[in-house]
Each structure stands twice: as structure tokens, then as C-alpha cells.
Structure 1
Amino acid sequence: MTRIASFATSGFDLDALHCAMLAAFSDYIVPLQPDADTFKAALSARGFDPEASFIAVDDDEVIGFWNVATRSTKRYLIGSGTRIGHRGRGLASRLGTAAISAAENVGIESFWLEVIEGNKGAERLYRKMGFDVTRKLDCYRFNHPSPDRSSCKLSDFGTVANVIQRYSSWEPTWQNATETISGSKLTSFLHEKGGAIIGAGGLVHQIAASEPSALEDLLAAAATVGSLTLVNVDSADSTLCSLLQDLGAHRFIVQSEMRLSLPNVS
């Protein structure tokens, strides 16, 4: 018999959750097979909350999961999945219902997630649960044609984060938020009209400037660390999106950010 349990009280460890994740994502739209250390680091960076997260268990095996993070009065779905052989049994719905109910019971005000465009089944499920699309998000990869940091200088994380907040017209998604990345190894570039924060592997967590030429300078500076990836750029930011496309960036994913507003029943 399949049971739904909070991960915190389930008796399972992160290694069991990792195995379930690999199995569930083996046929995913985007290849995703991290090793155990990478998986655990990603959960930790995003604020994985064992009490807010739920798993489906059958025959002493984790067969489905909703990995959830908590920050103040918000919760965020880091990732969810069901092992291939157990799909079509309503487990995703049961897991989501359990996670949402738990959030309501402790006064959480909103639940957030992202879903890849084309994953119709997942989007349909989330809409059924009451989630609505808040914005579209684009993901890009590219090798900058002319890396050059001459117009920027290295600075501390706090200074650059404040500059970006001043100039940005949109909030970063959960995994790129200042609270999420503050403890990571980062390279922070400061321009007189903006800033950029770059993580491991050339991941551009945050970038903003007061004018397009400054954005171009910042991308050139960021490219001195190697190939760049931008995950979850607000598609409404036509200036940044157009600049990336002009530089030859490949848009490899489009996502929808979705939000569920919750009543306070605590």
C-alpha cells in the first residue's frame, strides 16, 4: 500500500530521495541526472525543508516526491517527480495536496514553482491545484564573442546585489534570489551603471543595468569566466533578451512561473 509522508518523519535519507529523483527524471524533457553530492548541494542551496516536503512510499521505496523549500511566508517547489512505473495513479496530486495542506496549516501565504513549457501534464495538474501563471521565463546559453572586463571591476557581493536591485525591473526567481546565492562561491562585477553576479560554471544569477550599453559591458565582463548560462530571465525584459539574442545566445528552455495564494488557516 502506498503512503504519503512528510520527508522529515518518513525514515528515509537524502540518498533514497536522490535515487528516486534519478529514476523519475530519467525520461525528463531536459536531461537531469546529478550525482549525489550535486543533488544534495542543490537542495541545500535552495533551502530544502524536510517538514514541508513529501514523499510517496511503496514497499519501502521512495516512488514519488515533492521537494519543497521555505522562506518566510513563501514556499517553493524545488522539484517533483514519480518513478515511471508508478505514474498514472494520482500520486503527484496526492503529494501536492499534502504539501499545500501542510503549508496552509503553518500560515504560509504563497506557494511558487516553475514548469517547463511543453510539460502539459504537469502544468495541467498545477492549474487544477489552483496555481496561476505569473510570468514567462527564458533560459539561455552562449559563448560571448568578445570577453572583456575592462569596463567593470570586481567588487563584493553585497555592494553588487544592492546595485542590481536598484536597476532591475523584475525580481529573480527563487534559485537566483539574493537569499539563495549569498553563501555560494560567486564572482561579482560592478559597472558604473549596473552589476552582475556570476556563479559556478558561468551561471549568471543576477544582472541589471540602467542602459543597454552597460548590460553589454557586464555580459562581456562575465564572459571572462567562461561560457555563460542565464536561467529564468523574465521574458518581459525585452532589452536583456534582445541583447542576448544579438550576441548569439541559444534559448534552450522556456518556463512558466506559477503561484498559488493560500488562505491563512493557522
Structure 2
Amino acid sequence: MMHYQNLNGVSVETIYATFLDAFSDYALPMKPSLDAFQKMLVGKGFHADISVGAFCGTDLVGFILNAERENNFYNLGTGVKVAFRAQKIASKMLDASIRTLKERGAAAYVLEVLQENRKAFALYEQKGFQVARRFLCFRLDAPQVQPQLSTHVTTEAVDQVANFETTLEFPPSWQNNQHAILALRGDFQCFAYRKGEEVLGYAVINPTSQSLVQMGAQTKKAGAALLAHILALFAFETLSTINVDARNESLIQLLTEVGFVRTFEQYEMLFNP
């Protein structure tokens, strides 16, 4: 018989094994190493006590991994083992998550869903989630700018992201914001484009995952110089960025001109109790 409870006392290894099964047929490759999976949990703020597991006997067959920050919940992953699909397990876990949210008096519940994942989108919509933002994701394989170090680009303390982030017109997504970066600050590097004492742009990257996590630029020149500097410094084979707000036309234009191509789109969805 299926039963549902939080994930207190469930090992990361057990959750990881269920994660790999649940996402084995996902539209995007989802096969992180155990170490990368653990870092993902830390960066996104995972809390076992507000997360939900579906158990068949002692076997964890489904999960909703939840995080909590500043009185908001975030669903950082929903999955059900392939052999246990079509039993409304995800729906029941989501109901349990919403109950926990209300018991805690949380202000909102946030999640992201691939635009093409119509089944998941329909479930979230049915439960009362509404689209808050549209995110675009990009990958750079063939840069249209010459990698070149710039004397205007300086290396900054990662803690500076807390100040730089306030200059952005559109706030970063949950998994890209300062909390996610500072939770694993040793994994990130921060750069700023300076004209005298004035900061005209900045970028935060994760060199290991070859990802651009945050970027803001007041001028196209500053943005292009930042990207050219990063490409020269690290010689990445590829560079990806996710969850660019679709309203951020200047950043999207910059990324496109540098050679980034759009890979997929996501909806940020919001549940207000």
C-alpha cells in the first residue's frame, strides 16, 4: 500500500537513486553525479521535513523535494519512478506539499516547469498554480566574439553578488539568486566591468558546470567584454545559462549576438495560499 510522509531520515543516496529512475526518460538529460546532486540540494535550499516522499512499503517511489527561503516554498523537483506512473502519485504528493505550506503559513509556493511538459503543467494548473514568468535558456557553442581579456574586467568577491543583484531589472530565479550562489560560494566566480569606480556590468559563473548563473550589463559593450573575458580566461567548450526572464530584451539580444542559441523554455509558476 502506498503511503506518504516527509523525507526526514531518508538518505541522500536513496533519494538520488529514485531521482535517477524518475528522470531516466525526461526531455532533458538528468543524470548528475551523486556529488552534483548533493550540491544541487544545498544550493536550492532543500529541507527534508517539508519535502514529500511516496513509499510502497519501504521503497521510495516518488518525491517532491521542497525548499524554504524567506517564508516561501520552492519545488526543486517532482519525480515518480517509471514503474509507478499513472497512479496519481504526483497529485497526492502535491496535495501534501500544499498542506504543509499552509500549516507553515508560507506566503507562496514557486516552481519551474518545462513549457513542453504539458502533463505536469496541467497538474500544477489544476492545483491552483499560475504562470508568473516565462524563462528562456541558452547555450553557447560557437562564440561570435573573440575571446579576449579586458583591463576593465575585475575579479570580485563572490559575496558581492548580494549587492550586484540589486541592480538587475528582473530578479533572478530561485536557483540563480544570491542565496543559491552563496550557499556554495566556493563553486562560483564573480566578475565586474568597471569604468573608473563605476560598475557597468557583472557576471557570475560556475566554471565546473560551465554555466553563466547571473549577468547584468548597463551597456552592450560592458556585457560583450565580460563574456569575451570569461571565454578567454576559461576556454569553455560550451557555456550555458538558464532562466533568463523573457522580458529582458537587452540581455537576450546580447546573448544572441555573442552566439548563444535558445535551447528550451520554462514557466515559473506560483501558488498563493
Quickly name the TM-score band, shorter chain normalised.
Answer: over 0.9
For residues 151-196 of structure 1, the C-alpha deviation after alignment (integer angstroms, 9 at most, x for no partner) is 3111212335423422x11010111110111132221111121111
- Distance in 2, matches of 1:208 and 1:64, equals 38
- SS of the counterpart of 2:209? helix
Runs of 5+ consecutive residues of structure 2 not aligned to the other structure: 195-199
Runs of 5+ consecutive residues of structure 1 not aligned to the other structure: none
For residues 188-238 of structure 1, the C-alpha deviation after alignment (integer angstroms, 9 at most, x for no partner) is 111121111111332111110212221112222222322321111111111
- SS of the counterpart of 2:192? strand
Check conservation: 1:189, 1:221, Cα contact below 8 A: no
- The residue type paired with residue 229 of structure 1 is S
Question: Hey, what does 1:153 align to over in structure 2?
Answer: 154
Aligned length: 259
2:260 to 236, 249, 252: 249
- Distance in 2, matches of 1:125 and 1:220, equals 42
Report 1:1-266 matches (<5 A). 1-8=1-8, 11-143=9-141, 144=143, 145-150=145-150, 151-166=152-167, 168-182=168-182, 183-184=184-185, 185-192=187-194, 193-199=200-206, 200-224=208-232, 225=234, 226=236, 227-262=238-273
Check conservation: 2:205, 2:211, Cα contact below 8 A: yes
Check conservation: 1:164, 1:209, Cα contact below 8 A: no
Check conservation: 2:161, 2:178, Cα contact below 8 A: no
Check conservation: 1:160, 1:189, Cα contact below 8 A: no
Identity of aligned residues (%): 29
- Distance in 2, matches of 1:34 and 1:158, equals 27
Runs of 4+ in 1 over 6 A off after TM superposition: none
Deviates more, 1:137-146 or 1:154-163: 154-163
Deviates more, 1:154-163 or 1:127-136: 154-163
- SS of the counterpart of 1:179? helix
- The residue type paired with residue 196 of structure 1 is A
Quickly say closer, same or farther: Cα 1:118–1:17, change in 2 above 3 A: same
For residues 96-124 of structure 1, the C-alpha deviation after alignment (integer angstroms, 9 at most, x for no partner) is 01011101101100000000111000000
Check conservation: 1:57, 1:64, Cα contact below 8 A: yes
Deviation for aligned residue 1:85? 1.4
Deviation for aligned residue 1:86? 1.0
* TM-score (structure 1 length as normaliser): 0.93
* TM-score (structure 2 length as normaliser): 0.91
- Distance in 2, matches of 1:223 and 1:101, equals 46
Check conservation: 1:164, 1:195, Cα contact below 8 A: no
Quickly say closer, same or farther: Cα 1:21–1:179, change in 2 above 3 A: same
- Once superposed, what is the RMSD of the aligned Cα atoms? 1.4
Deviation for aligned residue 1:139? 0.9
Deviation for aligned residue 1:244? 1.4
